[in-house]
Structure 1
Amino acid sequence: MTEFASARVAIIGGGVVGVSALYHLAKAGWKDVILLEKNELTAGSTWHAAGNVPTFSASWSLMNMQRYSAQLYRGLGEEVGYPMNYHVTGSLRIGHSQERLLEFQKVAGMGRYQGMDMEVLGPDEIRGRYPFLETHDLTGALYDPNDGDIDPAQLTQALATGARQMGARIERFCPVTAARWTGKEWILSTPKGEVRAEYVVNAAGYYAAEVGKLFNRRVPMMVMSHQYLLFDAIPELEAWSAESGHKLPLLRDVDSSYYLRQEKMGFNLGPYENPCQAHWATPDDPMPEDFSFQLYPDALERLEWHIADAMARVPLLEKAGLQKVINGPIPYTPDGNPLIGPMPGVPNAFEACVFTFGICQGGGAGKVLAEWVTEGATEWDMWSCDPRRFTGFEDHDYCIAKGKEVYGNEYAMHFPHHAWSEGRDKKLSPVHERTKALSAQFGPFNGWERPLWYARPGDDIAEASQRSWRREGPWFAAVKAECEAVRDACGILDLPGFSRYWLSGPGTADWLSRQITGKLPATGRLGLAYFADDKGRIVTEMSVARFGEEEFLLITAATAQSHDRAWLEKHLEAGITLQEVTDLWSCQILTGPKAREVLQAAGAEADLSKGWLTHQSGTIAGREVWFARVSFAGELGWELHTKTADTLAVWDAVLAAGAPLGLKPFGMFALNSLRIEKGYRAWKGDLSTDYNILQGGLERFVDWAKPEFRGKARLEALKAEGVNRRFATLVIEAGAFDPPYMATIWNGDEVVGEVTSGYFGHRVGKCIGLCMLRSDLNVPGQALEVEIFGERRRAEVQADEPLWDPKNLRIRA
């Protein structure tokens, strides 16, 4: 096949996201880029999208992305000389419950922090913005002045125009039929000839799984049927619009699960029904080779309830005749967020696909994707969209079940103690049946079922009881008792799923030293290691155990499995062997002042006098155990790492021996309470690329004397300049609610920081917030306020030491 084109980057897919990626790559200076579209631009989800552009999101990173999109679209038409219909109408998101109003307050606080003037309205204020609305049973609404709608085809063409003006190339009717990696570049086969590219991007929308197969990549996704209805013009609406000079705000009844938008002088109604319909999900319903500008047959019987509810909410809708039904495919990942970032396991390949809300996220997605390609990292921490958050266990059935669950709960609130029910029991600990028999209530972590808390007789374990923002639910008293058992006697936590990597070979120690900011542990010892990027930002945290001069075991979070493996592989040097051993081992945390007594009673054969941050091999019940003398709970304790086949025997022996000594099982909720009292950071909350190592308060893990480590030059410059924000611990008079992630911190009328994790510490009896705070206010005793669901609650900065056991006497016992 002859060569047809060559480029630094080839993007596969010409919907709004693919074209936005092309535009942003060219804008970043990479003008030698090409987009390959199998049909016409906008084919796929883009052409039939409703075109709504909300900035609302419960996710900080997605809100950043959507905010950027809205700002970009306002000036894009003028910038590239392409006229666009973009109506910034504002929106009302109405609520029927107090819980929903709390969500509105939470998101409004995030929006204000990002510079958007969101406003929570009372029931009496709503009709002033939307006179045709029935408000008798509403508790309030969230008003977003930046919301609106845009013509998806015009948006896509405007981005394409801008990309072409900067030198980018677009080839329509040019499907990619094969892909081959030469070791230096990709060769893509098309009917027009071969395309050579240094990098490729899968931006193929609901065809992303088919394109993924070209790269031996199984994309975790499914396709939903989504319908929206277009209604004829209504004279009353036309008269009101003429008199007011503008359109109605976009209305979302999130508790009834639909949006209602003024479309010219009629309405556009878009429900998210439950039960819902997946497509191309079975062998009897295969994905067609081309579904570019096609729709599914109408299925209005699925929407009857929503239509009736919308007509009751806005009676004016009853006067409109139904004009048209759009029923088209929309792709979903198992968590509903898109895939943006490196394609797992594939060199020089990226994904920007599976967008459920591609129009409102497309502008920001292009920016993020261009940063990934051109800089190797993004401005905002985008773990919420990183393809590596999925690790391969997400099979076809899982993707279907979770996609339908997300769609059917599109506007659902995501409560801090609630675990969704679909796609469960994918990975079970060897002692799962034991913990289940003890009334463990489980939650998934990278597919692993871990105990969250242990219900006691009479505790309400119904899923509905988890749906609350409040601190105190059925779990609260049980978690308190679990924490007290760890404090006073001993607790055991079954913790399957730690990600483990074995590093060995000549030069391993030197290489690893250059990857982390601090010192390597001596043989027989272990410690925390922080990995920074070239900008000095926090990439990840791993425990490093040294077994020999050139032999190390790296342990990291279950959810970090693909992320951290990819980071290690990316920087690995010749002669060093990286072996993942995650599935070979399981783990239990045994911790509390009687932990040593429990191990002795269980007949542990190991030197239990060895101190903190040591490790050794030994046995319990005749089974091999690797004893790591650490405790994320901040008490005397060990991590008991066992081979999978030996885990049950060790659990049984320890539990039986410990029962007379007060040993109790505890769960992840208790661990969260225990760790936050020690100021221990959580990955992708307190530890993320939104912060550099010095801002994160991690300077004690920096060895400035080392001649080289990644990010050193930037960190030295930051140290000389002085960082403007630093990690701090707050004690908060929080009332009935713990502060949510990214809760705003105020000093008077000035925003001075954000809470990165907050929870109630049962040992100290206080609500604790770990936060990022302006440096000049990071002074013990400084009084501040934390905005929690719309209310400012008094907070006080603590000393730079743990609230519990500040001298680490208990953990070193």
Structure 2
Amino acid sequence: MKTHVKALVVGGGAVGTAIAYHLGKAGWDTMLLERDELTCGSTWHAAGLLPLFNMSFATSHIHDYSVKFYKTLEAETGLNPGFSVVGNLRMAQSQARMDEYMLYATTAETVGIPYEWLSPAQIKERWPLVRTEDLIGALFHPTDGYINPADVTMAMAKGARQFGVAIERKWQVDAYDWTGSEWRMTCTKMAEKGGNLVATDEQTVITAEHVVTATGNHAQRTARLLGLKIPAIPVEHQFIVTEPDPELLAYRKAGGAEHPVLRDADAKWYVREERGGWILGPYEEGAPARFKYAVPESFRADLFQLDLERIEEEYMSMIHRIPSSETVGLKDDFNGPICYTPDGNPLLGPAPGLRNMWLAEGFSFGITAAGGTGHYLAQMMVEGEAEIDMAALDPKRYGPWMTTEYAVQKNEECYSHVYVLHHPDEEREAARPLRTSPAYDRQKAKGAQFGQVNGWERPNYYGPVDAPDGFDREARSFRRGGWWPYAVEEAKAIREGVGLIDATAFAKHAVTGPGATAFLDWFTCNRLPKVGRINLTYALTTAGTVRSEYTIVRRGSDSYYLVSAGAWAAYDADFLRKTAEDFMAGGGEYVAIQDVTTQWGVFAIAGPKSRDVLNNLVRDAVPETVLSNKRFPWLSVRDIELGMVPTMALRVAYTGELGWELHHPIEMQTHLWDRLMDAGEAHGLKLVGARAQNWLRQEKSYRAFGTELGRDATPLEAGLDRFVDLSKDFHGKAAMEATGIRSSCVTVLVDGPEDADPWGREALYSGGQLVGRLTSGGYSAAFDRSIGMGYVRPNLAQPGQRLEVKMFDRLWPAEITEESPYDPSNETIRKDG
């Protein structure tokens, strides 16, 4: 066995094997270790489905790659992976479900995934065993189907070996140690004894430049060995196999085509043919998490006891949908662990705080995702970045506040929500509230309906003060939901009067020390602000694309306060710290990075009357001049006193109106809240949530990280030239310039349906051709039209260019506007007083 490799993959399921294959294909000296046998984890009892349906742009690319890749394996390796390309039929019992499918379908178009719409009559004509009278229609993917999980894994393993990858079975990693330049793993030989897998006395040490963990159900053990928190915990998933169905056998004997994988999402199950019978896989309520801390040593390729009572409702609904299955007996059953994460997406990318350690954990749809995971993770490792933005799957989307109990509750919820309607305004309720700002109860009493970002409770909008429990659930829709009128009034309040937004969830970091200025000048692409001033800037990847967005506040010559998106606090902290370490290792002076997110609360007050409200609270010798342009110009910072609260006030406004961000000691938040509410009463102060703020920032063409900004576009492609100082050297500059302009970010106004706005996932067309996609969407109160932002071909990125937006399976007219269509000259934001 090799004792040194460039890359070591730990875990021999479908995911780990696919990663080893693609690293080997890229020319890396790679070895895979499996503690038992290949496929002995969740892979062996997976149903092998390959669903292309996914609302995530990144995950859709991953699934699409897998489906295409698996079709090439037999020609490459000589092994048949058992791919049955029967298609995937997603049936809908309601218009809301069809709305969901239509939103997904426009996203699928941006990836190039084919689909068809079928009416109930067309379904019945093709597959007469399916009952259709209570269906609205269906979405059909003709290019996917199901595959044999063991066969596809073995085919990838053979392909990996052909690329020189070494695969070693019965070896377990018991310790990971970083030497400063490589990983040193202590590995133990495992052996079978009495049906169990036990450790022997044989050990070896393996060193590797890079390590990938793809340990599936053993993720909690991996987390302990690495000193990490990894919210990947398995949940029971059971499926049953019936005896042969005589009517199905007769249908097939008469020349009937094999049924596609049938999904009745409203009934929460999938069904496919299996040797003349049926496989039923439900996603029921009450499935418990297992192995919260570790997989028992005695558990190998084992299963749990079946709980038929728990899936009785789903079983009866299968009989309803396929009446011929009613008299068919049960042949086999499976109830095994399938790893989940709180949001259902895998944890894929660099491990927090560690060098050259890569996580590939938490795959609830591991067979579907395996091939694409190997492809895109290998790109990240070998080339520095993947061709698509993988940030949505980054393990650091969950910070150190995450606990085992949180993961258990959210993973169980995620399992039961696989087939629940996934509204774009969905907010899941398990493990909430958890992280709350001091003003939370006051906001709730005012009708706040909360969303969760990085564990924080943040008002999405303010509904009726006496709103009953479940009000927000009932308000959700794929169209303009019940919350929409409240958000409209909030947006109008900021444009016409004054509004108050809780932005406490913002990520905040202090960067100080003798090397702070030189570090940040190299770390970001814009020039640094002068003391007392503010700049918006971007940190780039090695590929020259946008890694993070920061508002930099310069407090002193070598003292900076950085504000970034709340959802990305751990992601930003990790990148800051690792890059600062690289800077110092290269000879730079000392830089200190401190996460101060929980020390500072933030209220954003904005609107034409915002200065009037604050003037009532400012404590100063000449209070009426404190907030004037002369003493407090746009893009500056001042320490002021608001009542008894010392406040670091930033003259910025993400809404594009006159306004300030009020950064205050979080322990004083309720006092400041009460004083602001009192002072605002005479001026009609309105409480505003995140949804109205999102609409308002689109009216100003303000890009947002995670939508317009990401690791698949440079700041020049994002149209942020004014924030890029090409006269200096900065991280990623050469790659950014070499990339050129592949697509351009634009703002569009849309004449769409009367009852709906785009969500930011829609395809953009011109002359019947796909030319781009939206990344954000919503409603503009200023223009009384739908609005969106997105990327199009550079030759089309001109104001006045007519486009079409795909919504609800129709093309709706849209027009590219000038940059910042609302107040393009920034007169309101600079208003004096």
TM-score tier, shorter chain, comes to: over 0.9
Q: Which residue of 2 aligns with 1:595?
A: 610
Q: Which amino acid aligns with 1:513?
A: D
Contact kept, 8 Å, 1:103 with 1:789, in 2: the verdict is no
Deviates more, 1:450-459 or 1:671-680: 450-459
Q: Which amino acid aligns with 2:724?
A: V
Q: Which amino acid aligns with 2:543?
A: K
Contact kept, 8 Å, 1:108 with 1:119, in 2: the verdict is no
Contact kept, 8 Å, 2:476 with 2:482, in 1: the verdict is no
Q: Which residue of 2 aligns with 1:713?
A: 734
Give 3-state SS (helix, strand or coil) of 2:172's partner: coil
Equivalent-residue separation in structure 2 for 1:615 and 1:141 (angstroms): 55
Determine whether 1:809 maps to 2:817: no
* Cα shift at 1:458: 7.0
Q: Deviations over 1:219-259 (max 9, x none)?
A: 11222111111112223323322443742111000110000
Q: Which residue of 2 aligns with 1:738?
A: 757
Q: Which residue of 2 aligns with 1:11?
A: 9
Equivalences, count? 801
Equivalent-residue separation in structure 2 for 1:742 and 1:416 (angstroms): 10
Equivalent-residue separation in structure 1 for 2:810 and 2:521 (angstroms): 46
Q: Which residue of 2 aligns with 1:186?
A: 183
Q: Which residue of 1 aligns with 2:191?
A: none
Q: Which residue of 1 aligns with 2:143?
A: 146
Q: Deviations over 1:366-403 (max 9, x none)?
A: 11221222223222111221101111222122111111
Give 3-state SS (helix, strand or coil) of 1:87's partner: coil
* Cα shift at 1:487: 2.0
Equivalent-residue separation in structure 2 for 1:457 and 1:395 (angstroms): 33
Equivalent-residue separation in structure 1 for 2:134 and 2:256 (angstroms): 29
Instruction: Tell me the percent identity.
Output: 38
Equivalent-residue separation in structure 2 for 1:290 and 1:380 (angstroms): 40
Q: CA RMSD in A?
A: 1.7
Give 3-state SS (helix, strand or coil) of 1:177's partner: strand
Q: Which residue of 2 aligns with 1:551?
A: 559
Q: 1:108 to 1:743 in 2, by over 3 A?
A: same
Q: Which residue of 1 aligns with 2:240?
A: 229
Q: Which residue of 2 aligns with 1:67?
A: 64
Q: Which amino acid aligns with 2:682?
A: P
* Cα shift at 1:779: 2.2
Q: Which residue of 1 aligns with 2:105?
A: 108
Q: Which amino acid aligns with 1:683?
A: F
Q: Deviations over 1:81-131 (max 9, x none)?
A: 223211110111100111111111222222233222201212221113322
Contact kept, 8 Å, 1:202 with 1:212, in 2: the verdict is no
Equivalent-residue separation in structure 1 for 2:826 and 2:763 (angstroms): 31
Determine whether 1:363 maps to 2:375: no
Which of the numbers 324, 332, 341 marks the counterpart of 1:324? Answer: 332
In the TM superposition, what are the counterparts of 1:482-561 in structure 2 within 5 Å?
482-561=490-569
* Cα shift at 1:459: 5.9
Equivalent-residue separation in structure 2 for 1:415 and 1:343 (angstroms): 30
Q: Which residue of 2 aligns with 1:784?
A: 803
Deviates more, 1:352-361 or 1:212-221: 212-221
Q: Which amino acid aligns with 2:229?
A: R
Q: Deviations over 1:678-728 (max 9, x none)?
A: 11112111111222222111111111222x112322333445xxx242111
In the TM superposition, what are the counterparts of 1:376-775 in structure 2 within 5 Å?
376-456=384-464, 462-471=471-480, 473-572=481-580, 573-574=583-584, 575-605=590-620, 607-609=626-628, 610-706=632-728, 708-719=729-740, 723-735=741-753, 736-775=755-794
Equivalent-residue separation in structure 2 for 1:740 and 1:290 (angstroms): 48
Gaps of at least 5 residues in structure 2 are 189-202, 585-589
Give 3-state SS (helix, strand or coil) of 2:387's partner: coil
Q: Which amino acid aligns with 2:242?
A: F
Equivalent-residue separation in structure 1 for 2:129 and 2:285 (angstroms): 27
Give 3-state SS (helix, strand or coil) of 2:235's partner: strand
Which of the numbers 199, 202, 205 marks the counterpart of 2:213? Answer: 202
* Cα shift at 1:42: 0.5
Q: Deviations over 1:12-60 (max 9, x none)?
A: 1111101111001001110x21111111110110011111111111111
Q: 1:41 to 1:717 in 2, by over 3 A?
A: closer
Contact kept, 8 Å, 1:764 with 1:803, in 2: the verdict is no
Equivalent-residue separation in structure 2 for 1:779 and 1:394 (angstroms): 45
Give 3-state SS (helix, strand or coil) of 1:544's partner: strand
The runs of at least 4 aligned residues of structure 1 exceeding 4 Å deviation read 457-461
Equivalent-residue separation in structure 2 for 1:193 and 1:164 (angstroms): 22
Equivalent-residue separation in structure 2 for 1:547 and 1:603 (angstroms): 21
Deviates more, 1:737-746 or 1:165-174: 737-746
Deviates more, 1:570-579 or 1:749-758: 570-579
Equivalent-residue separation in structure 1 for 2:738 and 2:32 (angstroms): 39
Equivalent-residue separation in structure 2 for 1:98 and 1:532 (angstroms): 43
Q: Deviations over 1:424-472 (max 9, x none)?
A: 111111111111111111111111111111113576762441331112x
Deviates more, 1:461-470 or 1:339-348: 461-470
Q: Which amino acid aligns with 1:107?
A: Y
Which of the numbers 82, 94, 97 marks the counterpart of 2:94? Answer: 97
Give 3-state SS (helix, strand or coil) of 1:474's partner: coil
Q: Which amino acid aligns with 1:750?
A: Q
Q: Which amino acid aligns with 2:806?
A: E
Contact kept, 8 Å, 2:220 with 2:292, in 1: the verdict is no
Q: 1:99 to 1:131 in 2, by over 3 A?
A: same
Equivalent-residue separation in structure 1 for 2:114 and 2:187 (angstroms): 48
Gaps of at least 5 residues in structure 1 are none
Equivalent-residue separation in structure 2 for 1:428 and 1:194 (angstroms): 46
